[in-house]
Amino acid sequence: MDEEKQVTREYTGDSKDRGILLAILVILVIVVIVAAVWMWKRRNDNTTYTGYDIVTTKQLSFSTVYGMIPIKDGVMRYARDGVEAVGKDGKTMWNVSYNMTSPVADACGRYGAVGDAGGVSLYLLDGTGKVNSVTTDHPIVKVAVSANGETAVLMNGGTQDYLVVYHIDGTKASEVNTMTTSNGFPLDVAISENGAKIVLSFAYFDEETIRSRLVFYNFGNVGKTYTEGMVGKAESTTTAFPDNLYADVAFLTNDRIAVFGDKSLLLYEMEEIQSIKPVEITYTGTVRRFAYSSNYIGLLTEQQDNGHIVYAVLLYDLSGKLVERRELDNYYGGFRIEGTDVILYNDVSLFIYRVKGNDKYKGGISKPIAYVYAIDGRNHFAIISDNQYNELKLLTGGSAK
C-alpha cells in the first residue's frame, strides 16, 4: 500500500511538472511569435510619414561647432573650446574642455580623438569622459580613430611628413616618416577597425598635372616583414586614373577600403595587403557629397542636363555594384546613410527615403538642422542645431511643416 502510494505520489508530481513545463513552453512560443511579427513589421515597414511632432527639446553645451561625428549611441560634437558626446535621448554623456584654433576630429564606436590642425595638441577620448592629452612632435594634419581606440595622426614636419599611431593611453604604438619630395603632400588618413592597417592619400605634381598616390601600411604581424610596415603603393599615371585626385580615404569595414576621387571611386580589399587592382567606379558630373555605412556607399552628384542642374544619389554596395540611382528635386548639404535609410537635409528641410523603397518623409522642419541621426530605426530622429537637440517623431497624420 505504501509502495502504491509512493508510486501514486510520484505520478502526481510528474503531472504537475509537465503541466508547468507545458505552460512555460506555450509562453515561450507566444513570445517568439510576437517578437518575430514585431521584427517582420520593422523590416517591412513602408509607411510614408506626412507630419511630425517635436517630442523633446534640450539645450547643448557649445553654441558654435566645427563638426559632428556619429559615435556609439549618439553623436560627438567638437568645437574650438571643447568636445561633447550627446546621446540619442539628448543627454550629454561626457564633455571635455580645451582651447584649439582649428580642431580636426574622428570617432569610431565609443572612442574619439580631437587634434589642433597646425598645432600640437591632441586629445584621446575613451568614451567615458576620460581623456589623455598628448603634445605631438609635429603639427597635426588629420586624425583617424579605430574601433579599439588606436588613433592614427598624420603630421607635417616641413620636408618630411610623419604618421604616428597612439594607444588610447597616449603612448606610441607605431611611427613612420615619409619624404614630401618623394610621396607628395598628405591629404587624408584612414585606419582599420582593428587599428592594424592604415592607408594614406597624397597629392603630387607630375609636370603640370596634379596626381594621386596611395600608401598602405600594416602594423600587424604580416607588416613586420616589410620596411616600416609599408606593404604597398598605388598611384595615378597616364595609363591608370589620369588627372584624377583622390583626396579622401575610408575603411568601410576592417578589410574594405574606399578611395574617393573627383572622377571615380576605388574599392580596395585589404585583408593584410591591399589588392593589386581595385574595383573602379567611374561617374560623370561632380560629386558634391559622399556617405558610407558598413553596407552601402553613396555619392551625391551634380550634372548638367539640357541646361538644367540635376542632383542625384548613386548608391553602391561594397562590391561596387550599383544598387539604385535616385534623382533629387534640389541639393542637400547633409547626407547620411543609416541602416536602410538615406537621410538628406538642409537648414530647414528633411528628406528620408528607404534603400530600393519609398519615401519615409519629405518636407520642412520648424527647427534649424545641422545634423540628423536615427533614434529607434523607425520614425524617431534626433535633429541637432548648433546649440540645441530636438527629438523628432514622424507622424502619418498631418502634413509636412
Mean pLDDT of all residues in 229-250: 78
pLDDT given for residue 206 in this prediction:
77
pLDDT given for residue 18 in this prediction:
60
Which one-letter amino acid corresponds to residue 269?
E
Domain ranges of the chain: 1-32, 98-282
* Sheet of strand 308-317, all strands in order from the earlier edge strand to the far edge: 286-292, 296-305, 308-317, 322-328
Taking the model in full, what pTM does it have?
Answer: 0.84
Confidence of residue 37 (pLDDT cuts 50, 70, 90): very low
DSSP string, 139-205: -EEEEEE-TTS-EEEEEE-SSEEEEEEE-TTS-EEEEEEEEHHHH-EEEEEEE-TTSSEEEEEEEEE
pLDDT in tens, 92-145: 999 999 999 999 999 999 999 999 999 999 999 999 889 999 999 999 999 999
pLDDT in tens, 336-365: 999 999 999 999 999 999 999 999 999 999
Check: CB of residue 355 under 8 Å from CB of residue 342.
Answer: yes
Give the rounded distance of the alpha carbon of 353 from its chain centre: 18
Under 8 Å CB-to-CB from 198, ≥6 apart: which residues?
A: 144, 152, 163, 165, 189, 190, 191, 192, 216, 217, 219
Identify the H or E element spanning 335.
strand 334-338
Confidence of residue 10 (pLDDT cuts 50, 70, 90): very low
What's the CATH architecture for 98-282?
A: 7 Propeller (2.130)
pLDDT given for residue 141 in this prediction:
94
Would you say residue 229 has pLDDT above 50? yes
Mean pLDDT of all residues in 195-222: 89
Q: What are phi and psi of 22, to 5 degrees?
A: -65, -40
Buried b (16+ CB within 10 A) or exposed e, 23-44: eeeeeeeeeeeeeeeeeeeeee
Strand partners, 249: 259
Mean pLDDT of all residues in 198-211: 85
Identify the H or E element spanning 275.
none
3-state SS class at 95: strand
Would you say residue 195 has pLDDT above 90? yes
> Which is more confidently placed, 304 or 18?
304
C-alpha cell, 223: 607588416
Q: How far apart are the first and last CA of the chain?
A: 83
pLDDT in tens, 259-306: 998 889 999 999 999 887 889 999 888 999 999 999 999 999 999 888
